[in-house]
Amino acid sequence: MRGVLAALLLLLAGWLPPSAPLLADERILAYRSDIEVLDDGAMRVEETIRVRAEGAQILRGIFRDFPTDYRDPLGNRYRVGFELLEVARDGHPEPHHTRRLDNGIRIYAGEEQRRLERGEYTYTIRYLTDRQLGFFTDHDELYWNVTGNGWGFPIEQAEARVTLPRGIPINRIRVEGYTGLRGARGEDYRAWVDSEGRARFETTRPLGPGEGLTLVATWPKGYVREPGRGERLGWLLDDNRDGAITLAGLLLLLVYYTFAWRRAGRDPAAGVIIPRYQPPADHSPASMRFVRNMGYDQKAFSAALVNMAVKGYLGIQESDDGQFTLEKSGATPRLAAGEGAIASALLGDGTRRIELRQANHDRLGRALKAHRRSLSADYEKRYFDTNRGYLVPGLLLSAGVMLLGVLSLPEARRETAGLMSVWLGFWSIGVFTLLRSAANSWRSASRGTGRHGRALLQTLFTLPFLAGEVLGIGVLFSEGSAPLTLGLLLLTGVNIAFYQWMKAPTLIGRRLLDQVEGFALYLSVAEQEELDFKHPPERTPQLFERYLPYAIALDLEQRWGERFSSLLHTGGGGYQPRWYQGSGWHGQGISGFASALGSGMGAAVSA
């Protein structure tokens, strides 16, 4: 509420003295507010408050809270001006001090070392304020809470006098008011315009605890200077300096990353992609996925395990409930470097059999790390560059922008907003990763290359973290501002996006990718479309097995399986891979087996 004055609360600065009455009759005897509306829209206010002190709540003096910070319907902050001119008691200057609150200023009238004697005292508080008026199409308005609604004892009589700029016709001034509890529209008041053109308001009954007086005065336009668009924009930027800072920082971050991307993140031009009937020589399925995605994931691990099985190094057993077990065969085929790292970590200490389940999570985790390290050593920098070094200035710039934004908040809000900004920045990255993983699972399930159950479990697992994200956003919005909250999310999003976009293949990596895309083109064609190719390899069970790990690595396992459905007739009980034992082969079509194997292995590894 614009111009709302918080309640004048009586300060209890210590315990009641032994001589204080048990039922002290402390009250406000008279509350008068003289308001002068100036030509430039500012207001000069003098409040005169006569109180009866009995040593209970009014012990050393009173304090007055003046709200200065509000929010508009869009959530933006706006701050009204406030300048304290004088504090007096019984006509003499009174010692006083102020303290900043999270939404305004508190004025303390009195001294901590001095107690008041019982009796009546008249306090006078004079101040200047601005930005309290409403400017509408056909009139200007003052909506002002005279007394506030936070009093814990009665106000015997309240009145207000509003002096407007000269020249306003008396018959064009409109007055009304409200009395009662906050939000009430009681009519226990009188309002009129006197012969001098002053709007007058006074209560017609004592106000009880929590009740107050609010006035509304309107007059024609043209007598008070209305702020222009430039002035309003200046106020908006000044009131929301955190928003201006984050907006400027976001633009600067985009400029920096655009420069960095043009310098190092551009991909070399792709060559002509033609179908290739064989994978690139000396490159494993996992390495092709690693280079293609310019990063590692668990499906690369699954593709490597299937490739090791196809080569005869190990066998894969699947139980009826979808539990996978790997068993070393004893054969010693030539393994790719990354596959050798997996073999050493999983089955290199004499272990011949391992179940892909939570109980073996540590061993599986070591195998994943060993595989990733091997692929990184062989392919990163040579075939692609993540350009992570360019992220450091971007992250530092983002942190600096948020720090300046938090420091621009009122002091009482900085600590909470600062802590939430740091926490939410890291939390948002984790939530983004979980959401992306869940979305990929649903996408795979919809395409038939994944399981709906796994997608549902991932979604349920993600929901509590997403709820924490929403809660954190709400806290930062409340303690900070909408621009600061939005700025943090956008800064985080920009850094995440450019973390991906800054990755770029090298020239040799681009040549490898051209070969990978050509091979993927061959793997992805439908059975009838294969006739358009010149001299494609003969479709045999051995060809299906040999290229299945590559199809898994390139997310083409379902398409590859569909190519061989009519050939293998899995439902007929004939052919079955020598490296696989389980009901999955005969329980579904070959395309279903291929996709289920890829997704099932990934689910088992991530369990």
List all residues 6 or more positions away from 472 whose beta carbon is below 8 Å from its beta carbon: 420, 423, 424, 427
List all residues 6 or more positions away from 399 whose beta carbon is below 8 Å from its beta carbon: none
- Amino acid identity of residue 156, one-letter, is E
525: tokens are 């064609």
Q: What is the spatial distance between Cα 253 and Cα 393, in angstroms, rounded to a whole number?
A: 9
Q: What is the spatial distance between Cα 386 and Cα 294, in angstroms, rounded to a whole number?
A: 7
Q: How far is CA 218 from the centre of its chain?
A: 42
CB distance 37 to 242 below 8 Å: no
DSSP calls for 102-142: SSEEEEEEE-TT-PPPSEEEEEEEEEEEES-EEE-SS-EEE
User: Of 426, 496, 506, whose CA–CA distance to 468 is shortest?
Assistant: 426
Cα diameter, the chain: 110
- CB 238: neighbour CB atoms within 10 A? 12
Each residue's pLDDT tens digit, 319-349: 877 788 899 998 889 999 899 999 999 888 7
- Amino acid identity of residue 12, one-letter, is L
Whole-Å CA distances, 326 to 174, 315, 356, 544, 548: 87, 6, 8, 21, 18
Domain boundaries, the chain: 8-233, 240-265+389-501, 302-354+508-606
Identify the segments of the chain with pLDDT beneath 70.
Answer: 1-24, 75, 444, 447-451, 526-535, 568-575, 583-607
User: Of 510, 524, 507, whose CA–CA distance to 272 is shortest?
Assistant: 510
DSSP calls for 233-294: HHHHHHHTHHHHHHHHHHHHHHHHHHHHIIIIIPPPPP------SSPPTT--HHHHHHHHHT
**11-45 burial: b if 16+ Cβ within 10 Å, else e:** bebeeeeeeeeeebebbbeebbbbbbbeeebbbbb
CB distance 535 to 572 below 8 Å: no
Sheet bearing 61-67, strands edge to edge: 8-11, 61-67, 104-110, 96-100
- Amino acid identity of residue 387, one-letter, is N
Whole-Å CA distances, 278 to 30, 85, 273, 391, 520: 96, 87, 14, 37, 10
Q: What is the spatial distance between Cα 259 and Cα 331, in angstroms, rounded to a whole number?
A: 53
- Write down the pLDDT at residue 458: 82
Q: What is the spatial distance between Cα 103 and Cα 412, in angstroms, rounded to a whole number?
A: 9
CB distance 200 to 194 below 8 Å: yes
pTM over 0.85: no
CB distance 512 to 282 below 8 Å: no
Fold of domain 8-233 = Immunoglobulin-like (2.60.40)
For residue 77, give the 3-state DSSP assignment.
strand
- Write down the pLDDT at residue 564: 81
List all residues 6 or more positions away from 2 whose beta carbon is below 8 Å from its beta carbon: 70, 80, 132, 134, 143
Each residue's pLDDT tens digit, 150-193: 778 899 999 999 999 999 999 999 999 999 998 899 999 999 99
CB distance 423 to 475 below 8 Å: no
List all residues 6 or more positions away from 531 whose beta carbon is below 8 Å from its beta carbon: none
Each residue's pLDDT tens digit, 79-127: 899 999 999 999 999 999 998 887 888 899 998 888 999 999 999 999 9
Whole-Å CA distances, 198 to 34, 35, 157, 167: 10, 10, 19, 12
373: tokens are 């390290």
Q: Which helix (H) or strand (E) segment is 453 a member of? A: helix 452-479
For residue 606, give the 3-state DSSP assignment.
helix
- Write down the pLDDT at residue 603: 58
User: Of 382, 387, 379, 384, whose CA–CA distance to 287 is shortest?
Assistant: 379
- Write down the pLDDT at residue 535: 65
